[in-house]
Chains A and B, each alone.
Chain A
Amino acid sequence: GAGVSQSPSNKVTEKGKDVELRCDPISGHTALYWYRQSLGQGLEFLIYFQGNSAPDKSGLPSDRFSAERTGGSVSTLTIQRTQQEDSAVYLCASSQRGGRHTEAFFGQGTRLTVV
């Protein structure tokens, strides 16, 4: 696609429910990153994919968070049993190769609100 596409753009969910966030990277980009931005905070790194594998999951805040990527393209970030502190904007970025942050393009993000 022309840019990184994320869906939904906004999601309101009840505490305890599971949510799934989707990221469709730029075609041909092998590296994909997920970040979280809480109100008034900088971006917090969550996970990095190179192709379908995730060499670095160190940023996932708890075992309620998981992510996968299939076909080297679309990625989903799943949050189970959501808590209010999960409320944030979740941003996805992609780049042609891993570590090439100068070439990373960000999506518009998903604003998650847990009530």
Chain B
Amino acid sequence: EDKVVQSPLSLVVHEGDTVTLNCSYEVTNFRSLLWYKQEKKAPTFLFMLTSSGIEKKSGRLSSILDKKELFSILNITATQTGDSAVYLCAVDSGGGADGLTFGKGTHLIIQP
């Protein structure tokens, strides 16, 4: 059974801090790894990673994948209160299913 594990489950930091969120996975047929930000109910897409060692960057957010060690990290630098959200990691493993396997998420709280 495909599995995605995120850590930590929750994290509280102060504005301006840098955070690193972790995602490890065990899947039978890896196609890609995706990060989403979930505020309230609707997740919004952040990054898709398919190749090891290539950093994806968008503003203060960046992410990288290690396909040998089967994990990814999401970094947020100079955090702001608007970064408070649940960050979800998901793996697209194909295998006949077009759905994603999600981790439980990291609940990030940025204190002013």
Binary B-proximity of A40-73 (CB < 8 A = 1, otherwise 0)? 1111111110100001101100000000000000
A110→B28 CA distance, assembly (Å): 31
* B98 contacts A by Cβ under 8 Å: yes
Interface size class of A (residues with CB under 8 A): 20 to 34
* B43 contacts A by Cβ under 8 Å: yes
Q: Is the CB of B104 within 8 A of A45?
A: no
* A107 contacts B by Cβ under 8 Å: yes
Q: Which residue of B lies closest to A89 (CB)?
A: B41
Binary B-proximity of A66-105 (CB < 8 A = 1, otherwise 0)? 0000000000000000000000010100000011011110
Q: Is the CB of B42 within 8 A of A107?
A: yes
* A25 contacts B by Cβ under 8 Å: no
Q: Is the CB of B42 within 8 A of A101?
A: no
Q: Is the CB of B98 within 8 A of A42?
A: no
Q: Is the CB of B100 within 8 A of A43?
A: yes
Q: Which of B40, B44, B48, B102 contacts A44 (CB 8 A)?
A: B102
Enumerate chain A interface residues (CB-CB to B < 8 A): 4, 31, 33, 35, 40-48, 50, 55-56, 58-59, 89, 91, 98-99, 101-104, 106-109, 111
Pairs A–B under 8 Å by Cβ, sample size 29: A31-B98, A33-B99, A41-B104, A42-B4, A42-B88, A42-B103, A42-B105, A43-B88, A43-B102, A45-B97, A45-B100, A45-B101, A45-B102, A48-B99, A58-B96, A59-B99, A91-B42, A91-B43, A99-B94, A101-B34, A101-B92, A102-B34, A103-B45, A106-B41, A106-B43, A106-B44, A109-B41, A109-B42, A111-B41
